[in-house]
Amino acid sequence: MYKFFENLLDWIYKKRCYFCKNSKEAVRMCSECYNTLDFLPAKLNRIINGKKVYCAGIYSKNLQKLIRGLKYHNQRDLAFYLAKFMTEYLKKITDKNDFEVVPVPIFPKREKKRKYNHMNLVAEEFCRLTSNDLNKDLIKRIKDTKPQYKLKKNERMLNLSNAFKVNKENYKGKTVLLIDDICTTGSTFEEMIKELNKNGITDVMCLAATTPFES
């Protein structure tokens, strides 16, 4: 019943594109704005602790606005479009489609304050689009870290030290695909990979939606 009224309201008060404000398609990101998102070349971005890291696009323009709207402005519907962007890039870099997808977790207090973890939303849409397994219980954040963007590289590593805990009993035995919105220095992926390796989980790949730097 709730969904019926939600759809009815969407029909009466047509959804406007968050980017161009056009209501013609009645969606939060119209096809024209989505098509402005630029993919990076389908190649390895970097290697961290022996694991491949890929970044789908550059953190700028509408891709930056998409992430900021989803992450900071409660635009949860935008999770689908970020997941779609990452899904399309994944198909460019590998034919493999048997992952357990692990979104980067946030500290429980911060998630409670924000009321959601945006990467959980993206991971749910990503797994729906790709038919991969979602695993939100493999890694937990146990340290309330400072925002990474305010820190230098060495400060980022110290900030993230011992920030994650792996619950090995929740591992399903597949290739772990760590996903995040932005990969700057790679510190977050590096700490998560370290914890996975400590627990004997070495089949790992990383995918970020964006990076500030083109390789």
> 37-211 in CATH: which number?
3.40.50
Which residues are registered as beta bridge partners of 39?
Answer: 57
Please give the radius of gyration of the chain, using alpha carbons only, rounded to the nearest integer.
17
Whether residue 138 contacts residue 200, with contact meaning beta carbons closer than 8 Å, is answered with no
Say how far apart CA 118 and CA 33 lie, in whole Å: 21
Sign of CA dihedral 202, 47, 130, 95: negative
Q: Name the band, by pLDDT with cuts 50, 70 and 90, for residue 215.
A: low
| pLDDT for position 144 | 78
pTM: 0.90
Which residues are registered as beta bridge partners of 208?
Answer: 55, 180
Q: Name the band, by pLDDT with cuts 50, 70 and 90, for residue 117.
A: very high
Mean pLDDT of 53-71: 97
* Domain ranges, ordered by start, for the chain: 1-35, 37-211
| pLDDT for position 158 | 75
Q: Encode pLDDT of 132-154 as tens digits.
A: 999 999 999 998 776 666 667 67
What backbone torsions phi and psi does residue 80 show, to the nearest 5 degrees?
-60, -40
| pLDDT for position 137 | 97
Q: Which bin fits 156, alpha (ψ -120 to 50), beta or left (φ > 0)?
A: alpha
- Show Cβ contacts of residue 60 under 8 Å, excluding neighbours closer than 6 positions: none
Mean pLDDT of 46-51: 96
Q: How many CB atoms lie within 10 A of CB 36?
A: 12
